[in-house]
Structure 1
Amino acid sequence: MTLTFTSNAASKLCDFLQADAQGESSTSKGIRVSVVDGGCSGYEYSLSVANTPKADDLQLEQGKLRVYVDGTSIPLLEGVVIDYIEGLTDSGFKFSNPNAAETCSCGKSFTASGCKPSEAGCS
């Protein structure tokens, strides 16, 4: 599986992990990436801090960043590039998804071709 974080995104996510740790040391803490039903186009991206991976998670590392990819989300996240942008009116994570047939103007929701929400492992 190919899931890429730009240096800006990786740096911001490492900052989140450090802030969440609050002095604790956890060798398994990472960022969980998944796709969930929702948004204006059918699917939404989800990023969260995870203390440990779930049984079906795919575990990846990019530099110092540990990533857990939800097993059912893998087909929808294949080839995705995650960036972090900062601007005067909008800052946040931006997902570039080659699997998206359509994206919402908000950039946080998408539709995948040949796949309906709630269909795990669709392609």
Structure 2
Amino acid sequence: MINLTDSALHAVRDAILGADQPVSGLRIMVETGGCAGYQYKMGLVSDAEPDDTVVEREGVKVFVDNQSHELLAGTVIDFVVALEGSGFTFENPNATSSCSCGKSFG
């Protein structure tokens, strides 16, 4: 199961409320690429796909396709505000390696 920290939950909720189009939740997926083998992809979506796993916390829905779900099981997603910039971070227990930017893993 994927877990969002309170900070990530707040950031996603703000993004959903500020969207120009109706949004049902956040899609998180893994694609081949990046400097470590796989890269995280995120985006707001209007609907779930038929094969999605839906994780819901405090009214915020996260959609994960079946292929990505295996690679993301147990991942904790946080939203960090720092001098270098703000953004989502992933603590993925399935990653055996990661790049320095934290957006790619192997």
After TM superposition, give the deviation of residue 21 of structure 1 in Å: 4.7
Q: Return the alpha-carbon distance in structure 1 between the equivalents of residues 59 and 16 of structure 2.
A: 11
Q: Which residue of 2 aligns with 1:84?
A: 79
After TM superposition, give the deviation of residue 10 of structure 1 in Å: 0.5
Aligned-partner residue type, residue 16 of structure 1: A
Q: Which residue of 2 aligns with 1:56?
A: 51
After TM superposition, give the deviation of residue 90 of structure 1 in Å: 2.1
After TM superposition, give the deviation of residue 88 of structure 1 in Å: 1.1
Number of equivalences = 106
After TM superposition, give the deviation of residue 60 of structure 1 in Å: 1.4
Q: Return the alpha-carbon distance in structure 2 between the equivalents of residues 34 and 3 of structure 1.
A: 11
Structure 2 stretches lacking a partner, 5+ long:
none
Pick the structure with greater CA Rg. 1
Instruction: Output the TM-score relative to the length of structure 2.
Output: 0.94
What is the RMSD of the two structures over their aligned residues, measured on CA atoms? 1.2
Q: Return the alpha-carbon distance in structure 1 between the equivalents of residues 99 and 42 of structure 2.
A: 18
**Aligned match for 2:69, one of 65, 74, 78:** 74
Q: Which residue of 2 aligns with 1:9?
A: 8
Identity of aligned residues (%): 40
Structure 1 stretches lacking a partner, 5+ long:
112-123
Q: Which residue of 2 aligns with 1:18?
A: 17
Instruction: Output the TM-score relative to the length of structure 1.
Output: 0.82
Q: Secondary structure at the match of 2:82?
A: coil
